[in-house]
A and B are shown apart, each in its own frame.
Chain A
């Protein structure tokens, strides 16, 4: 009989013994992260402060593609993207697109294991990207065309004059995402990402950034981290609904990145408990709650 302890124990062992890591879905990183917002221009300004540049516009919807270095962010002002009819003032992370070896194979495998398919609203001549339900109202897209062929060249029109490959500021790259989970749900979500994508839990003493709470799951390609954060034991449910709460940006030198970003107008969170440190920093929230976390991370790890 399996107990909670055994589930944790096996995760920790897998995390320690990375040589036997499996990559059942052929996971290979994050292709894009999508926000939905009724104020796409306001969010676009925030992204530009952080060094992202608008490079393309969707053919049929109010959707813009922002890019810096290897990171793509899709800002969706279209009504389909909103989880509920009422517009939410604060932009929400609505989706994350995972790169996988074969999207169809990964999709059908996930459905066979009990993932929920998401119906897509594809217009004529647009790319149908398979997606499954993620946390809360979010979706997880599965993308396999990221090497020879760009998914954006089908659905998006380049913005005239925009550099299609703006360089990253201060070596910024995807570090991962922070997901808020409800009380008692750490194990559930650990199993979800482990079963569907081969993520493994890191030991409790392996932490990144300045907010070490919760549990960190690492992708089988070793470059994407999901930090699951639940409410404090005995505390009130301060976090609201389960969701993807913020993006973690990796940089080899946090202090240099902070300096560069401050010069561009980015403000960082400083309080009695939270500082700008070599290991990480947290931006002040924009638009009622959009924030980004910087994490010291040298960049692409070797696959173990």
Chain B
């Protein structure tokens, strides 16, 4: 499960996630950078928790910039990659740029993603590129797969975030353009309104009112997405990308219990697995 759904400092988040039965955690760089006792203490807590790191999020507004802005973003990317190395994160999540000055030229975007993947390559880190539904140039699977294809790096693929695809009604059919191995991560969430026509609605809902899969109005779509990527050969991890302001003022243990219910729903009803479910593992046989 993701730390972003929980209130409190890193140490208690890790404890709650582990106690709920999960074996993996998706971390935000803020969890580590904001640890009151510093990065090293954060890493010690992580190690002591026994949780495996699914990935680290998120590098934002990286691609399509020039000159000093580009150089600045390369430095930020390097710092996040250093963090991935330090915590043994196999994946860095990169959100498509929403920067007003970012180029919309797909060759330029592909070139920058190629450079990012090259920066990650010596350390065995993969780059999962996620199309934000309010991204400047890249907003859906088709576009994300296109630029990842232009970049042509073996450690670069897409991250599928169910929220953005449902918000834009991005056709799940477009996912068939991908090979199973070019999907590096699947992030699942749901939301409670039927339509999100405006960018403003999308951003507000995405950042404040997502719910766990199975809790919202789009459970069937979540199920279809999971079945589709599974049939395409996806065997990687699932994480719950659930930003929710309400969850930040509820006991984290209660929120983690909701996440657990969601994982059981996913395992037993969507993937039709029998218990015992190995929570937090890739939900597959």
- Contact residues of A with B, CB < 8 Å? 1-4, 7, 112-116, 133-135, 182, 185, 187-192, 195, 242
Contact = CB atoms under 8 A, between A and B. Distances in A.
B8 interface: no
Contact of A187 (B154, B177, B179): B154
Interface in B99-128: 114-119, 121-122, 124
B152 interface: yes
Contacts of A242: 124
Interface of B: 78, 114-119, 121-122, 124, 145-146, 148-149, 152-155, 177-179, 181-182
B152 A7 contact: yes
Nearest to A181: B124
B160 to A, nearest CB: 14
Contacts of B146: 1
Nearest to B77: A114
Contact of B148 (A1, A133, A187): A1
A187 B145 CA distance: 19
Main DSSP-derived SS at the B contact region? helix
Contact of B119 (A3, A116, A190): A116
A176 B203 CA distance: 54
Contacts of A182: 124
A2 B149 CA distance: 5
Given A1-B149, A2-B149, A4-B154, A188 B181 contact: no
Nearest to B155: A188
A191 B117 CA distance: 11
A3 B121 contact: no
A192 B122 contact: yes
14 contacts: A1-B145, A2-B149, A2-B152, A113-B118, A114-B115, A114-B116, A114-B119, A116-B122, A134-B122, A188-B124, A188-B154, A188-B155, A191-B154, A192-B118
Contacts of B145: 1
B114 A114 contact: yes
Contacts of B179: 1, 3
Given A7-B154, A182-B124, A191-B154, A1 B118 contact: no
Contacts of A112: 115
Contact of A114 (B118, B124, B182): B118
Contacts of A189: 121
Given A116-B119, A192-B118, 13 more contacts: A1-B145, A1-B178, A3-B182, A7-B152, A113-B115, A114-B114, A114-B118, A135-B122, A188-B121, A188-B124, A188-B154, A191-B154, A195-B118
A238 B143 CA distance: 41
Nearest to A242: B124
Which of B78, B117, B153, B178 counts the most chain A CB atoms within 10 A?
B153
Nearest to B81: A116
A133 B118 CA distance: 11
Nearest to A189: B121
A77 B14 CA distance: 43
A190 B152 CA distance: 13
Given A1-B145, A4-B154, A188-B124, A114 B181 contact: no
A112 B145 CA distance: 23
A294 B64 CA distance: 48
A253 B230 CA distance: 54
A191 B148 contact: no
A104 B73 CA distance: 23
Contacts of B78: 116
A195 to B, nearest CB: 7
Contacts of B148: 1-2
Contacts of A4: 154, 181
B117 to A, nearest CB: 7
A271 to B, nearest CB: 31
B76 to A, nearest CB: 14
Nearest to A182: B124
A53 B78 CA distance: 41
Which of A2, A3, A134, A191 counts the most chain B CB atoms within 10 A?
A2
A189 B149 CA distance: 18
A9 to B, nearest CB: 12
A192 B149 contact: no
Contacts of B122: 116, 133-135, 192
A169 to B, nearest CB: 35
The 9 closest A-B pairs by CB, nearest first: A114-B118, A187-B154, A114-B115, A1-B149, A114-B119, A2-B152, A3-B179, A2-B149, A188-B121
Contacts of A114: 114-119, 121
Nearest to B158: A1
B115 A1 contact: no
A1 B152 CA distance: 8
A188 B179 CA distance: 18
Contacts of B114: 113-114
